[in-house]
Structure 1
Amino acid sequence: MTMSEYEFIFVLSGISLEDDEAVNTLTTELDALLSSQRGMLRMTVTGEGSNAVSAAIATAQKAHELVDDVRFVRLDRDLVGVSDIADRIGRSRQNVDQWVRGQRCPSGPFPEPEAMVGASPVWLWADINAWLRPLGLDDGERRPTREQMNRIDLVLPSVRLVPTHFGGGRTDGGAEVSAFNVEARLVRSASRTRSAAARALHRHLLARAGEATDDEAFLRL
């Protein structure tokens, strides 16, 4: 199975930048960068997995093993405007604005904005970075897609409830339990108490499992 590295920006609670022991542990063991802006604690970190969702789950589980008090709230979407994009890639604002308006599209149509802030559009940096990759202007990092971000957000609050032995590559009763199965277990846990969307995703994962694997461990989740 091919493993890739992904970058995540997690919004955390349960600890603060003043908690020296927790911050030092996460920065040392996970090579993470913690920052706080307007009271929101964020952790930028890379994780490895067969896909972005399994990498995020594995990273969150590892962080919980290291610092029991840490809580994962959601992923920060890292939204950027035209000026932000220009600053990150070293191009002029006018150049980026031309891409947005479709006047120069060297890598196909510019991504759709994620939202509007006042009268200005903002985009997911993950979308922009992927669009820039064929031009050699990306930052070299892989990030989850919008759909993967939504799936990660759904399971993050339940990650700490899953025993360590459900992590990828470990075994339970002789049967390997994949990160996909961990995700399904988390989604099932979340679907008991959360929205219809959570329950729908759980059903979708069960259907995928039936097509993708006959691993008996999955049936015991």
Structure 2
Amino acid sequence: MTPNSFTFLVSGVDPMADDFEDRFFEAGCDDATLALMNGVVAIGFDRVAESYMHAVFSAYRDVLAAGATVERFEPDFLVSKAEIAKRANLTRAAISQYVSGERGRDFPKPVARITSASPLWDWVDVSAWLHRTGQVPLEEVINARISRVVNGYLQGSRTALKTGDGLLLRKMKQSMPKLAAA
């Protein structure tokens, strides 16, 4: 079992309440760090579990048990070139070369903010490409898809979901009671 790091951004709780920290601790979030970041309550986990999916699902249940509403999940599946480099443990220059086609072939195209100076890529697509080129393990691709599906569900967005994500979403609904009711 390995530690899994991720963050839930939540609402519906008062970070100034006397029992704020106790609510989360008593709900099973003893492996979480609670923070108020830019006015948003962020609950960062380093959860040990048999898989990333089990860690995310169990933490999700614990956060709900504390009375919070989960608004968003991080790590996000939309990534910049700098974030790609960080997650893949590669240089920013290497990623720029992949993007421009100087190195490697068929690097995924950006999916958001395409007309800006800082486009975003789908981490699932990028991690799959990096896996095919031997630069990240398959587990990274699987975890990326879990992150995309969790956020797609939380945002109520069908646009975030892609082929194959529906099966994972059904599995999530079986594992997460609040999802099953939706």
Q: TM-score, normalised by structure 2?
A: 0.58
**1:38 and 2:22 are equivalent in the alignment:** no
The answer for the alignment partner of 2:59 in structure 1 is 59
The answer for the alignment partner of 2:7 in structure 1 is 9
* Residue correspondences, number: 158
Change (3 A) 1:22 1:151: same
Structure 1: any 5+ residue segments left out of the alignment?
Answer: 155-177, 191-221
Structure 2: any 5+ residue segments left out of the alignment?
Answer: 157-170
Aligned AA for 1:40? V
Q: Hey, what's the Cα distance between the residues in 2 that align with 1:96 and 1:34? A: 33
Which of 106, 109, 116 aligns to 1:112? It is 109
Q: Give CA-to-partner distance per residue, 1:106-133, whole Å, 9 cap, x none.
A: xx63233231173321124454444434
Q: Give CA-to-partner distance per residue, 1:160-185, whole Å, 9 cap, x none.
A: xxxxxxxxxxxxxxxxxx86545687
- Based on CA coordinates, which of the two structures has the bigger radius of gyration? 1
Q: Hey, what's the Cα distance between the residues in 1 that align with 2:78 and 2:135? A: 21
From the two aligned structures, give the one with the greater helix fraction: 1
Q: Hey, what's the Cα distance between the residues in 2 that align with 1:127 and 1:79? A: 10
Secondary structure in structure 2 of the residue aligned to 1:9: strand
Identity of aligned residues (%): 25
8 Å contact kept, 1:115–1:122: yes
After TM superposition, list the pairs within 5 Å mapping 1:149-168 onto structure 2.
149-151=151-153, 153-154=155-156
Q: CA deviation at 1:11?
A: 1.5
- Aligned-pair Cα RMSD in Å: 4.3
**1:132 and 2:130 are equivalent in the alignment:** yes
Q: CA deviation at 1:98?
A: 1.0
Q: TM-score, normalised by structure 1?
A: 0.50
